[in-house]
Structure 1
Amino acid sequence: MVCDRCKRVVAEELDKLGYTVLQVGLGEADIASPGGEVDLEQIREVMQANGFELLDDRKTKLIEQVKLAIIALVHQGEEAALHINTSDYIAEKVGVDYHYLSTLFSSFEGITIEKYLILQRIERVKELLVYNELSLKEIAYMLGYSSVAHLSNQFKKVTGLTPSHFKQLKTEKRKTIDKVQE
């Protein structure tokens, strides 16, 4: 889950199943069952019917935590964190050694954490360019790029377009956050 609407859908569906929803956050839900029993298969089916995946093994949860940390970093205004070492930030957020996370992420996702971060940043740049409220220099600083040239080069490498050309297209060329690596 990556948005408030997603959290609301999860809470509503769990409520329909008769669970008491204590809290729904990004990528997790705390619930209580009146009888004390939780039917994970029933929850899995309902979540899958709504486009969600139930994560119940440790490695999958760690990968999801890495993704959520990156999404928070890039999309949800943890601006100050963009100017620190990304590997330290992720390791601190997830509470696991970065080298282990990096190896695990690459083996499961088929791309590196760094590549995933770059793809998320480029999607955020696209969003900000579409809104047309900030200059490229402001966007570069906001997202932790060392310069406008660095942002422009990375943008072109990923999209095949310069930021200014993308801005001129006036068509929606963005992806939803959860589809960025596809």
Structure 2
Amino acid sequence: MRLYIRNMVCNRCIMAVENVLKSLDIKYLSVTLGEVEVGEEPAAETLSQLDDKLQAIGFEIIEDKKSQLIERIKTEIVYLVHHSGEVLNTNLSVWLSGKLHYDYTYLSNLFSEVEGTTIEKYYIAQRIEKVKELLVYDEFTLLQIADMLGYSSAAYLSGQFKKVTGFTPSHYKDIKENKRRSLDQL
């Protein structure tokens, strides 16, 4: 049996959910972003306790099938952009349909209807968040970041970044550097 969990976006989220499962003595087979696989279905009271404890730390169990599918779309995109290190070398629509085994038109319409934005805009927003993170760390050039995230050029990345954030990448980096304080100043 699978439980779908909203708002899991990183390895720390996985650890937090594992800790809640352990505290309730729920035996699980695996915990990945957005999903928990359990051997047998927990009792209704245990599921209610699980949901309460998860909500207390910013997560929740998703029961509605359509909401589960939307969360899976988000989780796949978050994993692709932030964790996989994989560069998408096909269309997002083909990749996502292959991952989730649904027709992309259905996924797209459902996502837009519920989320009020398109899958493509969500994907772009995730990529821009990753660009922001990489800019602040100041370890890579804009060209390297563009290559890492599958942009055709640094100029295209820069244009998309400015369209989404209102800043050029270099201006954004300057603003963030001025606001950051060293650890000894905290």
Cα drift, residue 36 of structure 1: 5.9
| Structure 1 residues 117-160: Cα deviation after superposition (integer angstroms, max 9, x where no partner) | 11000000011111111111111121111221111111011111
* Aligned AA (1:5): R
Pick from 104, 111, 116: which aligns with 1:105?
Answer: 111
Alignment of 1:17-28 (within 5 A): 17-28=24-35
Alignment of 1:139-150 (within 5 A): 139-150=145-156
Please give the TM-score of this superposition, normalised by the length of structure 1.
0.86
Do 1:7 and 1:25's aligned partners in 2 also have CA atoms closer than 8 Å?
A: yes
| Structure 1 residues 62-117: Cα deviation after superposition (integer angstroms, max 9, x where no partner) | 1111111111221113423x221111111111111111000011111111001001
40-49 or 153-162, which moves further after superposition? 40-49
1:175 aligned residue: none
Pick from 64, 73, 89: which aligns with 1:66?
Answer: 73
Q: Percent identity?
A: 51
* Aligned AA (2:172): F
Question: Partners of 2:109 and 2:79 in 1: how far apart?
Answer: 21
Q: Secondary structure at the match of 2:62?
A: coil
Cα drift, residue 32 of structure 1: 4.3
* Aligned AA (1:43): L
Matched, 1:87 2:93: yes
Question: Partners of 1:17 and 1:55 in 2: how far apart?
Answer: 18
* Aligned AA (1:101): L
* Aligned AA (1:9): A
2:142 aligned residue: 136
- Unpaired runs of 5+ residues, structure 2, are 1-7, 181-186
Alignment of 1:1-182 (within 5 A): 1-32=8-39, 37-38=43-44, 39-80=46-87, 82-169=88-175, 170=177, 171=179
Question: Partners of 1:53 and 1:36 in 2: how far apart?
Answer: 16
Cα drift, residue 41 of structure 1: 2.0
CA RMSD between the two structures: 1.7
Number of aligned residues: 170
Question: Partners of 1:150 and 1:29 in 2: how far apart?
Answer: 38
Do 1:19 and 1:32's aligned partners in 2 also have CA atoms closer than 8 Å?
A: no
* Aligned AA (1:29): V
- Unpaired runs of 5+ residues, structure 1, are 173-182
Do 2:26 and 2:42's aligned partners in 1 also have CA atoms closer than 8 Å?
A: no
* Aligned AA (1:74): V
